[in-house]
Structure 1
């Protein structure tokens, strides 16, 4: 197909980007925010799109905008075309880890940073000594904005994020475990529910108020005494070492903290369930070889973190069995 450059010149290719933002957000206001445009500018761009296509493209409905059949027919080809254009202009060579000099910005909360961060940096350094990894604090509440603003390229969070422009993959599951200083609590592990409730509790929570344990205990018509509340997992050893207390953490974080301290772990004495862990990235970075390479390393690192948690559980069961003989 021969392209008439004069025809292309008359068309503002930025309109394709506006179309994609509208397609993904179904809202002029949200599309404008993502593109760092005023709402008036986004509305004007939509008007030019409608004129160029001879179709309304997006029609107002309750709660947002819905695409017309013409827009639905255009969307896949436009997304693919803009992605190809971006790759051609910005990705001159396939990513070669052995020779690359690149910094990746990855968002995750500090429980994931503790558990998979060391594994990830070791994996990266094995194959790409010129590559560096910058970890940025994020969570389910902040990750969308950070990806949108390109503060981070990838993120690891608990649970999925429902945004059309965010691509995601479940990379595993995690649950919950107790962490104690075994010499300080003076009770055998694993903890019984009675011993668990008799101990003062250290809480690690985004809100600093309540956590999943409190929800589970309310269902049992029981409660615990929280003597201190933290917002960062990394502070747990300083608070718990030498203290008669217990903290309930995601299993991967519990294993990481036990590995680097004298603290012990055991299963929680009540059913707290499991939750999915997702790897997130911007959909417009699909196909970038550097991003694909890092995604695979993150998945390997999380698998290694889960293996750490499983091995600690096996060691605990073995010690318990030995004491019972």
Structure 2
């Protein structure tokens, strides 16, 4: 596609920076402070932007300024364009992990934190001592929104990508299966667990989903057989599960890699589930704005390598 240099020549690219601030802040005052100019100058630029896009962009509502439908469609393209321009003119292509100083915001469930972060941290201290990680718990229902809002640099999510858009980038890390974990002495049973014992045993359920009536994949599988289990405890924290299972006559059905790790450390028993459960995909997720960021690409490669060694 040929470039219309005549029309592009009349556009001040700084206006896109100001537009990004206005779309993000939805306030002339806050947008002005964000880019370091006066409020009157930002008001003038908003008028220029309205003329450029032939749209009001921001209109007054009961709770302040709100985006017009046209402005909503501009949020992601403007942000992505600015990121690409920044990458184009930056000198970060010579990224050197040994001397770089950067903090990455990484969202992941505590199950993945247990599995990969110890090895990842050890590797970073060895080859990139100036690279730091800030870890965040994730809400799977908001994960893609957090990436869009630039609140996370990277995330690991389970089966969230089918709901993503073109600017949500994904690298499949692995497909996970399930194992049952239990204390054979306290439950009085041995592996493999029979379906009868499985239904009779009290269960621990790990779930990040909010709400009062939480169900898991096990409940769906049992329902197809006309069966139900008894869940005596539900927790969003995988870290507590080993202690719960070690001290109580209960069973938990959880991701296989984590179950093997816990069972090895605490001498717990493992068994294949006596019902057929679907595999779950674990994926590395990021926003397309960081596709060509050399530091970001480097960290993605490190994470993929760490996971491959699990």
| TM-score using structure 1 length | 0.71
| Change beyond 3 A, Cα 1:265–1:123 | farther
Q: Does 1:96 align with 2:90?
A: no
Q: How does 1:157-306 map to 2 (within 5 A)?
A: 157-159=157-159, 160=161, 161-206=163-208, 207=210, 209-305=214-310
> By how many angstroms is 1:132 displaced?
2.3
- How many Å separate the matches in 2 of 1:106 and 1:177? 27
Conserved in 1, the CA contact under 8 Å of 2:178 and 2:256? yes
Conserved in 1, the CA contact under 8 Å of 2:93 and 2:294? no
- Matched residue, 2:25: 36
Conserved in 1, the CA contact under 8 Å of 2:100 and 2:130? yes
> By how many angstroms is 1:66 displaced?
9.0
- How many Å separate the matches in 2 of 1:116 and 1:302? 6
- Matched residue, 2:40: none
- Cα deviation 1:21-46 (Å, max 9, x = unaligned): 9xxxxxxxxx94xx23259x99x999
- How many Å separate the matches in 2 of 1:272 and 1:17? 50
> By how many angstroms is 1:226 displaced?
1.2
For residue 241 of structure 1, give the secondary structure of its aligned residue in structure 2. Answer: helix
Conserved in 1, the CA contact under 8 Å of 2:144 and 2:164? no
Conserved in 1, the CA contact under 8 Å of 2:110 and 2:239? yes
- Matched residue, 1:87: 87
| Change beyond 3 A, Cα 1:169–1:36 | farther
For residue 274 of structure 2, give the secondary structure of its aligned residue in structure 1. Answer: coil
- How many Å separate the matches in 2 of 1:273 and 1:251? 12
- How many Å separate the matches in 1 of 2:109 and 2:217? 17
Deviates more, 1:145-154 or 1:210-219: 145-154
- Matched residue, 2:121: 121
- Cα deviation 1:202-237 (Å, max 9, x = unaligned): 111123732111111111100111111111111112
Q: Any stretches of 5+ residues in structure 2 without a counterpart?
A: 32-42, 58-67
- How many Å separate the matches in 1 of 2:113 and 2:96? 25
> By how many angstroms is 1:181 displaced?
1.6
What do you get for the CA RMSD once the two structures are aligned?
A: 3.7
Q: Any stretches of 5+ residues in structure 1 without a counterpart?
A: 22-30, 59-63, 306-325
